[in-house]
Amino acid sequence: MFGLSVAKHTAPDHPPVWVLGEALMDCIAQPDGSLVPHLGGSPYNLACATALQSASVGFIAPFSTDAFGQALLDHLQANHARSLLARSALPTSLAVVQVHEGQPTYGFYRENVADRDYQVADVVAMLEASPPGVLHTGSLMAMPPEHHKVLQIIAAAKRLGWVISIDVNLRPHVASDVSAYLQAVREVAAFADWFKASDEDLELLGFADVTLANASALAAHWMAQGCTRVALTFGAQGAYLQVDDANAQGAAPVVDVKDTVGAGDTFWGTCLADWVLHNTLNNAGVAAKRVPQTLQRALVAAAINCSRVGCQPPDVATLDAAL
């Protein structure tokens, strides 16, 4: 029932990246008031971005049996990732997206939806049956009450030897109780081995002097919590990446920005792919030496995504050609 067969494109000599998170339809508001649906969800976008870099990627949350769910599943598979859980009869989650000057804002419809229709025991059983890799989560999965299930899963995964990747990707306007939401995010983030946050995330979490120039001090907080790899993104300013004691920062490439939807997902997904494809999960020294290259790949991939409408991460050939 779990659909664990390995697709032909996967590389068994590299650890898998599994993603637990929302897969939804972004309904983009048009000037005339109509809504145009686009495939979305931060973890879903990340799964596609990571798979397009030739990593072996599995998506844990179920897809609906409705038309939107089928479209999401088809696109995931077209991007060389695979679905790990059986389909759900519940509807696909929706987000209404308003884009102003290239910046998206969101309103979510998340009750009784397919990507929340999973059982902790089923996910843990899959983790037990697979060689350990990277388990990525965050975004809306860190929101109460969903975070209770997520905490159980990532705690079990960590005991089984999986590396925990967290992108906090805060959506405070969706939460009925923002303070409880931020506390839940901190609880989830405490399990992170690899951690990503944007400048907006850091400000919402109460950090001061959230600038690229101060990135090393900001990263030090998460390294002190036990993270070994930290990425902090600062929009058009650029980004900072640290692996153990090695770090680098870089400016965002200048492109004709269509919008920024999925830019952070593309950035972090490219980092994850780079790390698993170079077999660095248990070899941090290689990852540390590659920090400048990993950061540059992630920055360029995100820039290419921003030059396209919606979340359209580049594949590995396009990214290689752009570097």
Amino acid at 111: E
> What is the C-alpha separation between 296 and 276, in angstroms, rounded?
17
What's the mean pLDDT in 140-151? 96
Least reliable range by pLDDT among 96-105, 157-166, 198-207, 279-288: 96-105
For domain 40-60+118-322, say whether CATH 3.40.1190.20 is its number: yes
Q: What pLDDT, on a 0 to 100 scale, did the predictor assign at position 134?
A: 98
CA pair distance 127, 153, nearest whole angstrom:
9
How many other C-beta atoms are found inside a 10 Å radius of the C-beta of residue 260? 17
Q: Are 304 and 314 in contact (CB under 8 A)?
A: yes
Helix/strand/coil for 36: strand
Look up residue 310 and give its two tokens: 């919606």
pLDDT at 100 > cutoff 80: no
**Predicted pLDDT at 186:** 96
pLDDT tens-digit readout, 308-321:
988 999 999 999 99
Cα dihedral across residues 74, 79, 82, 88: positive or negative: negative
- Rounded to whole angstroms, the Cα distance separating 223 from 246 reads 12
- The pLDDT assigned to 312 comes to 93
Segments making up each domain of the chain, as ranges: 40-60+118-322
- Helix, strand or coil, per DSSP, at residue 251: coil
The answer to whether the bond into 292 is cis (omega within 30° of 0) is no
| Strand 17-19 relative to strand 57-59, pairing | parallel
